[in-house]
Structure 1
Amino acid sequence: MGTPDFAVASLQALLDAGRNVVAVVTAPDRPSGRGLQLTPSPVKQAALRAGLPVLQPEKLRDPLFLEQLASYQADLQVVVAFRMLPEVVWAMPTIGTFNLHGSLLPQYRGAAPINWAVINGETQTGVTTFFIEKEIDTGQMIFQDTEPIHPDDTAGTLHDRLMVRGAQLVVKTVLAIEAGNYPRTPQPDTGDLKPAPKLHRETTQINWNQPATAVRNFVRGLSPYPAAWTMINGRFFKIYAVSVQSAVAANEAPDFPKTDEPSLSDVAAVYTDKKAKIMVRAADEWLNIEVLQAEGKRRMTAEEYLRGNQL
């Protein structure tokens, strides 16, 4: 069960390992592109290429869907990047249903574990397989594998590595369950547990009053999707990459003009040389905006933007 590219890797890994995948459950086709044509999910496309039956329920409690799912008599269900399952679905197989989660549980339970690990400046994360139970992301753990978070990682680059590592862990988990030799480790519920709630527009707005490193981590953790955003001179910008400009002290100004209108900006101060640099002051240091996207325009570097636009 899964929908996006992150789940395709696990499906393909199971097929490559010769496992008996009897059916695939994914989201219904959705309108996409300028023509809003119905487009199958990446998982459906992969399943059809492999000649697998595909179920696409609008509602997971739909009696017809439940009847179809039960008809496959699966011993085990594997969930990767799918919606919350009702008990009538996850309790259906004789062995149960396990999920692949993009963090080292119990840390970062929730919908956006990869984003929040980068936002919080973590240097390590990983993937976990666990049996689904009633409370979200709290079931008994089966296996975990770690992955470093590099200083220049974005949510996107980390996502791609965890996608591969997660697929490997899914196969390892299935093989262990088939052999009847696998752990079921309860998740600890004590200590400093960090959540990973779903990202919304209001939670992706940049707070330039934070230290520069925290702002940079925030931008990295939301790049390329959904992207951090800010208002400068009354204009909406998505910000995809920033760097700390240590050469200019926070209490000093760059040697080129100030450009912001404070009442129309989220930022305390914006400076640009009108050629290649856009600098914003954070709480302790200056930041270079390196990649941005103005509303109605494509994503571009600061230099490309300044070549044809003014702040």
Structure 2
Amino acid sequence: MRIVFMGTPEFAVASLNALIEAGCEIVGVVTAPDKPAGRGQVVSESAVKQYAVANGLRVLQPEKLKNEEFLNDLYALQADLQVVVAFRMLPEAVWNMPPKGTINLHASLLPQYRGAAPINWVLINGEKESGVTTFFLKHDIDTGNILFTEKITLTGHETAGELHDRLMDKGAGLLVKTVKAVESGRYTENPQEHLTEGIEIKHAPKIFKEDCKIDWNQPAEKVYNFIRGLSPYPTAYTTLNDKMLKVFKAEYEIAETESEPGEFFSDNRTFLKVSATDGFVILTDIQMEGKKRMGVAEFLRGVRL
């Protein structure tokens, strides 16, 4: 079965590698165009492109997915199936092209957490479980018929970065299982409409910098979940001495307090904590604007509060 793979970040590389190791025939890889990145604006290649080039795979990098030249190049690959992992929305002319359709790997248990940032929102909302889902693409984002899912139990302490790595590996295995099932024709499609009746659907929209500011007028546990759900990227932040203070890791304690939410407390040696509505959030891994990321003890050696 001839497969075209579409993806961009590191999350997608694990799936592409798993497909190759499983003996799948990857006839082409579609990924994002090269673009300038970092302070020096050095042109960088996507993680998927770097892997594809290293493994001798043909790479397509369209600026626009409706471009006639790209559509002709894609059609010429004569794919039986297209596989999408962490890419972008596809026009129908692309996802409807191969005879066996286009399947997508999504980092949540659909129909919950449709959208661009499922890993972040699952943790921000304090969920007890997450997982990965494979499904056939159709018009509306993340709404196609489900093929397979696999659940994982959350600890309540992992960061978005740690959950990313768990789901990356879990998803790669599930994708191989899905591709083999599509190839053999041994699968059942489960319409998501059957799973949404009578339940609240939670969404996972893209997160912007302005969404990352900590609101201390909330319970300590909710602030804690917000911090770990945005760590290490795009990173929760607050302000201290009129400067941005990024928070990568924290703990929390429930305690009676008469302090105002957002007040800082420290012994100037070992701890730095901030009051919430029902206790304190204890900061442990932070980065002050213009400084490097560091533990709180190291930070306090250079700052007097």
Query: How does the TM-score come out when normalised to structure 2?
Result: 0.94
Q: 1:306 aligns with which of 294, 300, 304?
A: 300
Percent of matched pairs sharing the same residue: 54
Say whether the 8 Å CA contact 2:250–2:282 is kept in structure 1. Answer: yes
User: Separation in 2 of the partners of 1:124 and 1:40?
Assistant: 34
Instruction: Measure the CA separation in 2 of the matches of 1:65 and 1:296.
Output: 43
Determine if contact 1:250/1:286 at 8 Å carries over to the other structure: no
Residue of structure 1 aligned with 2:20, choices 15, 27, 33: 15
- Mapped to 1, the partners of 2:243 and 2:269 lie a distance apart of 19
Distance 2:303 2:70 in 1: 53
CA displacement at 1:252 relative to structure 2: 5.3
Instruction: State the match for 1:128 in structure 2.
Output: 133
Confirm or deny that 1:251 pairs with 2:257: yes
| Aligned length in residues | 297
Contact kept in structure 1, 2:220 and 2:253, CA below 8 Å: no
Paired with 1:203 and 1:250, the residues of 2 have a C-alpha distance of 28
Residues in 1 aligned to 2:40 and 2:110: alpha-carbon distance in whole angstroms: 41
1:197 is matched with which residue: 183, 195, 205? 205
Is the partner of 2:7 in helix, strand or coil? coil
CA contact (8 A) 1:250 1:281 kept: no
Q: Report how far residue 245 of structure 1 moved.
A: 3.2
**Contact residue 27 and residue 58 of structure 2 kept, 8 A:** yes
Structure 2 CA distance for aligned equivalents of residues 225 and 250 of structure 1: 32
Matches within 5 A, 1:209-288: 209-246=217-254, 249-251=255-257, 267-288=261-282
Q: After superposing the two structures, state which structure 1 stretch, 144-153 or 126-135, moved more.
A: 144-153
Alignment of 1:42-53 (within 5 A): 42-53=47-58
- 1:97 partnered with 2:102: yes
Q: Does 1:68 align with 2:73?
A: yes
Unaligned runs of 5+ in 2: 1-5
RMSD after superposition? 1.3
* CA deviation map 1:240-293 (0-9, x unaligned): 1111134xx33257xxxxxxxx9xxxx531111111211100110112111111
Query: 1-side partners of 2:256 and 2:233: how far apart?
Result: 29
Runs ≥4 residues deviating over 6 A: none
Cα offset for 1:169? 0.7
Q: CA deviation at 1:296?
A: 1.4
Cα shift readout 1:29-52 (whole Å, capped 9, x = no counterpart): 121244322111110011111100
**AA matched with 1:144:** T
TM-score w.r.t. length of structure 1: 0.93
Q: Provide Cα deviations, 1:20-78, integer angstroms capped at 9, x if missing partner.
A: 00000000112124432211111001111110000001111111111101100101000
Q: Secondary structure at the match of 2:27?
A: coil
Letter in 2 for 1:175: K
